[in-house]
């Protein structure tokens, strides 16, 4: 006799029962809410996390009182109820209580065929998910006395026991199997990847079965009231007569819900039930303040609501749903803002394949996750990780993915699988990660041995070949294709506008070109926080002049080359000022080492010698002379500005002349000029003196007054430590956390990728410090720099303009440290804005408590 644990942790779910998400899980709580709305939910019992945990540990409860809740000879289902439905859980098991006796009885009431089907399905589910037998032995589709007999025999042969007939034993084993599967390593890793804590609990709900099979109209289905991909209002779902559980989602004879061209619909077939479902949909939207997918059964013509879950949604749909709920006054705007994961916004911002461009589609599949990406083919997750470590974009191509592929999927920029559907592993995970993904591309086959894929037409693609995955259309394209920048819809714009009202830290963009500046403005950036001017010199006509300047033998030659660059730079700045319409524009003076502008190949050197009219040997010698052992720590940034001051003079003049011109045409411009790679106060003094002189000269020449602000980029540890004295000469300090991270760790930002994966994997660094600000080390320097800078000059403006600026965790750091703004790439501005608004909301809530 099994000894039962003292067990009282099951609760019948009623409107007033003591059910909570933190003890019983989201599904149990949601069922209670549905009952409170008076939906026709079958009787349900909830088992707490604690109870399930004890079951997994072998402390089996007394099942009899649980079953007794459902009357004599009940049939029940068990479903998982974790705290967050996204954390997954074991699949539902239906028809527990089915045995030979019930089978005979049911044959009398609902007919032999339906009774056979229910019994066979239960034997199959029990054998596979509880006794863990090989699914192939139980894959019969058609139910009859004979197949039931065969299934029972197969069960007995494999387990050496008869199929359990006692409902108490059946339910006990189902609960035990589900509890244990939750505690398994794979399940734990999967849910942790979705943000679940290591000790996340599982609740279970035991529910009276509603049959969905029988003589009068019976069946099962799901309905939702918005489109999962776009969030637009639209009734979608499926219904299948004579079915149970989620069988209604597929198979022959499925009815769509609304009247349309595809054939018969539930709306025509059962108009009263359809109207009732619409009513419950509206009530649940209003009262549960969410778009729900309702799982229902029609039992002899009567509607039963078995379950409701948040509608599965893309990020685009999530934004539209949250904004629509706020616009309908169902939730406050603040809540709409709080509901959107900032990083999810990037999915809305994804590139799309330009429909006007040429497409060379080599295989088609299911468009499982939107957006498009180009990369080199890899066939294994290990290859994907290696590719990412080299900084190369790659497309993971697999027959299908499994949980072991998660790391590979993280590393890839898109996924393409031969098998699978909208809810297969690859599709679900890719949507979660926001990766473009195509699944079920059955027109290709993979050959692991030769590392190649072959299409039905005989085209062959090998590892390393470049392809594009268009996850929005389901087409895999050969080579690279033209991409379109993403479109912004009205819901996205509204959300960002609301976030802007709550944002209490400035968000600027790093923008080097007029196109970047325009994108930054479109995304609502409050100015440019970093314009890397050297990017302006890489265009063809400028590069030659730039090289002439580098090779100039005399000050006159250099001045002449700079004179040619001046109008080009002036035009650049005029355009930036005009696009930004009076918003601040922070221009960083020239930063990289000069040799970056010179060719290194023999052909390139020969070409340059020709262009400059110099002997090749001369050019080669000069290039060698400029080469440094460690250029990132060499003559770059302000060091170049001091050694070759004419470059900064030219840039300052271009900025001031552009200021005068742009101010005459539009809003007055107050440019910000930033000195890179400073490590000593004297560097700032020297540069400032010359820039002030250029400003005075331009004022006199143009007869116009203008202001400008000079600041310093804090990118070296010494600049952070000496920020006090530096701030005397700087109106602002902008922390360049890319170089600052490099120099704090002594870690080359260009080479770290080679071992970063291993370092993170082995826990040396919790994360790549070039992606996530190292709050402990680099963060301490930021604190010191900010404190000392502010002590010396209380009105000094503080900001971060390294890549970390757009990262929600770094924004939290900057807000807390009292920084004035962060500056990040234009596409990250919306993410940064939403993250900042959410941080402000969280603080307001904390302060209210």
SS3 495: helix
Judged by CB, which is closer to ligand PEP: 45, or 530? 530
Judged by CB, which is closer to ligand PEP: 470, or 591? 591
DSSP assignment letter at 111: -
Can you tell me which residue has the tokens 């290696």? Answer: 386
Looking at the DSSP assignment, which residues form a beta bridge with residue 461?
Answer: 453
User: Least Å distance between CB 530 and ligand PEP?
Assistant: 6
User: Least Å distance between CB 740 and ligand PEP?
Assistant: 6
Determine if 436 is a binding residue for Mg ion (CB under 5 A). no
Active site residues: 425, 801
Task: Strand 466-470: give its sheet, edge to edge.
Answer: 361-364, 475-478, 466-470, 372-378, 394-398, 414-417, 437-439, 366-369
CB under 5 to 8 A by kind: which of Mg ion, ligand PEP, none does 173 bind? none
From the centroid of its chain, how far is CA 276? 37
Task: Locate all alpha helices (DSSP H) within 69-198, ordered by sequence.
Answer: 100-110, 112-125, 145-159, 167-183, 185-193
Q: How far are the Cα atoms of 368, 380, 393, 842 from residue 362, in angstroms, in the given order?
A: 17, 21, 20, 49
Judged by CB, which is closer to Mg ion: 42, or 634? 634
Q: Is 522 labeled as ligand-binding?
A: no
Cα separation, 705 vs 702, whole angstroms? 9
Judged by CB, which is closer to ligand PEP: 314, or 744? 744
Judged by CB, which is closer to ligand PEP: 170, or 807? 807
Cα three-residue angle 311-367-467, rounded to 5 degrees:
140
- Side-chain-side CA neighbours of residue 554 (13 Å): 3
Radius of gyration for the chain, computed over Cα atoms and rounded to the nearest angstrom: 33
Q: Is 588 labeled as ligand-binding?
A: yes
List residues binding ligand PEP (CB under 6 A). 530, 532, 591, 715, 736-739, 801-802
User: Least Å distance between CB 779 and ligand PEP?
Assistant: 14
Q: Which residues contact 780 (CB under 8 A, 6 or more apart)?
A: none
CB under 5 to 8 A by kind: which of ligand PEP, Mg ion, none does 230 bind? none
Question: Which positions from 681 through 720 interact with Mg ion, judged by CB under 5 A?
Answer: 715
Q: Which residues contact 149 (CB under 8 A, 6 or more apart)?
A: none
Determine if 267 is a binding residue for Mg ion (CB under 5 A). no
Cα separation, 32 vs 19, whole angstroms? 8
Q: Is 380 labeled as ligand-binding?
A: no
Number of residues counted as binding Mg ion (CB under 5 A): 3
Q: Is 532 labeled as ligand-binding?
A: yes
Whose CA is closest to 360, among 478, 482, 475? 478
Can you tell me which residue has the tokens 């404190």? Answer: 787
Judged by CB, which is closer to Mg ion: 739, or 803? 739
Judged by CB, which is closer to ligand PEP: 281, or 592? 592
Cα separation, 183 vs 198, whole angstroms? 10
Cα three-residue angle 85-89-92, rounded to 5 degrees:
100
Contact 736, 713 (CB under 8 A): yes
Cα separation, 523 vs 318, whole angstroms? 19
Determine if 803 is a binding residue for Mg ion (CB under 5 A). no
Judged by CB, which is closer to ligand PEP: 187, or 714? 714
Determine if 739 is a binding residue for Mg ion (CB under 5 A). yes
User: Least Å distance between CB 177 and Mg ion?
Assistant: 56
SS3 311: coil
CB under 5 to 8 A by kind: which of Mg ion, ligand PEP, none does 801 bind? ligand PEP
Q: Which residues contact 730 (CB under 8 A, 6 or more apart)?
A: 684, 710, 711, 712, 789, 793, 796
Cα separation, 689 vs 645, whole angstroms? 11
Can you tell me which residue has the tokens 């049959």? Answer: 211
Cα separation, 545 vs 324, whole angstroms? 55
830 token code pair:
């919306």
Q: Residue 558: how many CB atoms within 10 A of its CB?
A: 19
Q: Is 739 labeled as ligand-binding?
A: yes
Determine if 736 is a binding residue for Mg ion (CB under 5 A). yes
Cα separation, 265 vs 636, whole angstroms? 70
User: Least Å distance between CB 736 and Mg ion?
Assistant: 4
User: Least Å distance between CB 528 and Mg ion?
Assistant: 16
From the centroid of its chain, how far is CA 641? 41
Contact 178, 90 (CB under 8 A): yes
CB under 5 to 8 A by kind: which of ligand PEP, Mg ion, none does 530 bind? ligand PEP
User: Least Å distance between CB 722 and Mg ion?
Assistant: 17
Q: Whole-angstrom distance between the N-terminal and C-terminal Cα of the chain?
A: 53
From the centroid of its chain, how far is CA 243? 36
Judged by CB, which is closer to ligand PEP: 548, or 591? 591
Whose CA is closest to 317, among 433, 230, 227? 230
Q: How far are the Cα atoms of 359, 409, 468 from residue 437, in angstroms, in the given order?
A: 17, 10, 10
User: Least Å distance between CB 777 and ligand PEP?
Assistant: 15
Judged by CB, which is closer to Mg ion: 94, or 778? 778
Judged by CB, which is closer to Mg ion: 739, or 774? 739
Cα separation, 799 vs 792, whole angstroms? 17
Kindly provide the residue ranges of all beta strands, DSSP E only, lying in 194-280, ordered along the sequence. 202-208, 219-226, 233-241, 255-256
User: Least Å distance between CB 632 and ligand PEP?
Assistant: 9
Whose CA is closest to 84, among 17, 22, 15, 177? 22
Q: Is 665 labeled as ligand-binding?
A: no
Can you tell me which residue has the tokens 């409050």? Answer: 526
User: Least Å distance between CB 801 and ligand PEP?
Assistant: 5
CB under 5 to 8 A by kind: which of Mg ion, ligand PEP, none does 405 bind? none
User: Least Å distance between CB 657 and ligand PEP?
Assistant: 25
Q: Which residues contact 523 (CB under 8 A, 6 or more apart)?
A: 496, 509, 826, 827, 829, 830
Mark the binding-site residues for Mg(2+), compressed into ranges.
715, 739
Annotated binding site for substrate: 532, 588, 715, 736-739
- Residues in the site for Mg ion, rule: CB under 5 A? 715, 736, 739
């Amino acid at each position: 006799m099994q000894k039962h644990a003292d067990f009282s942790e099951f609760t019948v779910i009623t409107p007033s029962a003591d059910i909570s998400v933190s003890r019983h899980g989201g599904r149990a709580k949601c069922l209670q809410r549905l009952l409170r709305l008076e939906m026709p939910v079958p009787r349900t019992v909830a088992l707490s996390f604690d109870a399930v945990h004890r079951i997994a540990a072998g402390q089996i409860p007394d099942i009899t009182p649980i079953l007794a809740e459902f009357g004599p000879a009940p049939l029940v289902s068990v479903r998982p109820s974790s705290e967050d439905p996204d954390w997954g859980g074991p699949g539902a098991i239906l028809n527990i209580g089915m045995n030979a006796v019930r089978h005979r009885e049911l044959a009398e009431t609902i007919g032999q065929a339906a009774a056979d089907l229910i019994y066979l399905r239960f034997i199959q589910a029990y054998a596979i998910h509880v006794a863990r037998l090989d699914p192939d032995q139980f894959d019969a589709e058609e139910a009859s006395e004979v197949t039931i007999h065969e299934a029972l025999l197969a069960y007995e042969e494999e387990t050496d026991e008869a199929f359990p007939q006692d409902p108490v034993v059946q339910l006990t084993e189902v609960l035990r199997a589900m509890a244990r599967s939750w505690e398994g390593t794979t399940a734990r890793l999967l849910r942790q990847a979705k943000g679940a804590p290591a000790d996340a609990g599982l609740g279970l709900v035991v529910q009276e079965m509603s049959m969905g099979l029988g003589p009068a109209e019976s069946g099962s289905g799901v309905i939702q009231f918005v489109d999962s991909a776009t969030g637009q209002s639209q009734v979608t779902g499926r219904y299948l007569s004579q079915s149970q559980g989620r069988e209604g989602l597929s198979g022959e004879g499925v009815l769509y819900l609304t009247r349309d061209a595809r054939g018969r619909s539930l709306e025509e077939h059962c108009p009263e039930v359809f109207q009732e479902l619409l009513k419950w949909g509206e009530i649940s939207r209003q009262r549960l303040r969410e778009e729900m997918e309702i799982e229902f059964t029609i039992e002899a013509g009567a509607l039963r609501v078995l379950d409701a879950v948040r509608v599965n949604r893309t990020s685009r749909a999530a934004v539209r749903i949250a904004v629509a709920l706020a616009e309908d006054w169902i939730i406050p705007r603040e809540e709409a803002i709080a509901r959107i994961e900032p990083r999810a916004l990037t999915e809305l911002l994804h590139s799309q394949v330009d429909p006007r461009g040429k497409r060379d589609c080599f295989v088609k599949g299911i468009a499982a996750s939107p957006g498009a990406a180009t990369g080199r083919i890899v066939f294994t997750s290990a290859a994907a990780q290696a590719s990412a470590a080299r900084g190369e974009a790659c497309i993971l191509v697999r027959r299908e993915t499994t949980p072991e592929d998660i790391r590979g999927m993280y590393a890839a920029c898109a996924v393409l699988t031969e098998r699978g559907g909208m809810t297969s592993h690859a599709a679900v995970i890719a949507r979660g990660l926001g990766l473009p993904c195509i699944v079920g591309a059955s027109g290709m086959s993979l050959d692991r041995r030769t590392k190649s894929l072959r299409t039905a037409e005989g085209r062959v693609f090998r590892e390393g070949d470049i392809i594009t995955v268009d996850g929005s259309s389901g087409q895999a394209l050969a080579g690279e294709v033209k991409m379109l920048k993403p479109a912004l819809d009205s819901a996205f714009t509204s959300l960002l506008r609301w976030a802007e009202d709550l944002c209490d830290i400035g968000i600027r963009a790093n923008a080097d070109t007029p196109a970047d500046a325009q994108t930054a403005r479109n995304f609502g950036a409050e100015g440019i926080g970093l314009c890397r001017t050297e990017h302006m010199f890489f265009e063809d006509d400028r590069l030659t002049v730039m090289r002439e300047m580098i090779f100039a033998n005399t000050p006159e030659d250099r001045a002449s080359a700079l004179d040619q660059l001046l109008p080009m730079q002036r035009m650049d700045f005029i355009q930036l000022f005009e696009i930004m319409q009076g918003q601040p524009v922070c221009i960083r003076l020239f930063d990289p080492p000069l040799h970056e502008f010179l060719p290194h190949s023999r052909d390139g050197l020969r070409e340059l010698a020709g262009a400059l009219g110099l002997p090749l040997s001369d050019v080669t010698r000069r290039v060698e002379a400029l080469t440094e052992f460690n250029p990132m720590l060499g003559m770059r940034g302000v060091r170049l500005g001091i050694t070759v001051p004419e470059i900064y003079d030219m840039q300052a003049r271009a900025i001031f002349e552009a200021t005068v011109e742009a101010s005459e045409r539009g809003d007055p411009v107050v440019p910000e000029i930033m000195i890179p790679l400073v490590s000593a106060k004297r560097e700032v003094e020297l540069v400032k003196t010359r820039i002030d002189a250029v400003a005075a000269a331009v004022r006199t020449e143009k007869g116009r007054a203008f202001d400008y602000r000079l600041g310093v980029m804090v990118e070296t540890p010494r600049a952070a430590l000496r920020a006090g004295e530096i701030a005397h000469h700087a109106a602002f300090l902008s922390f360049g956390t890319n170089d600052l991270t490099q120099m704090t760790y002594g870690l080359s930002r260009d080479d770290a990728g080679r071992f970063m994966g291993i370092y993170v994997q082995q826990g040396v660094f919790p994360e790549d410090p070039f992606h996530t600000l190292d709050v402990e080390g680099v963060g301490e320097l930021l604190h010191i720099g900010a404190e000392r800078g502010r002590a010396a000059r209380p009105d000094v403006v503080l900001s971060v303009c390294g890549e970390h600026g757009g990262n929600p965790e770094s924004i939290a750091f900057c807000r807390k440290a009292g920084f004035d703004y962060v500056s990040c790439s234009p596409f990250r501005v919306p993410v940064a804005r939403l993250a900042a608004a959410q941080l402000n909301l969280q603080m307001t809530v904390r302060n209210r408590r």
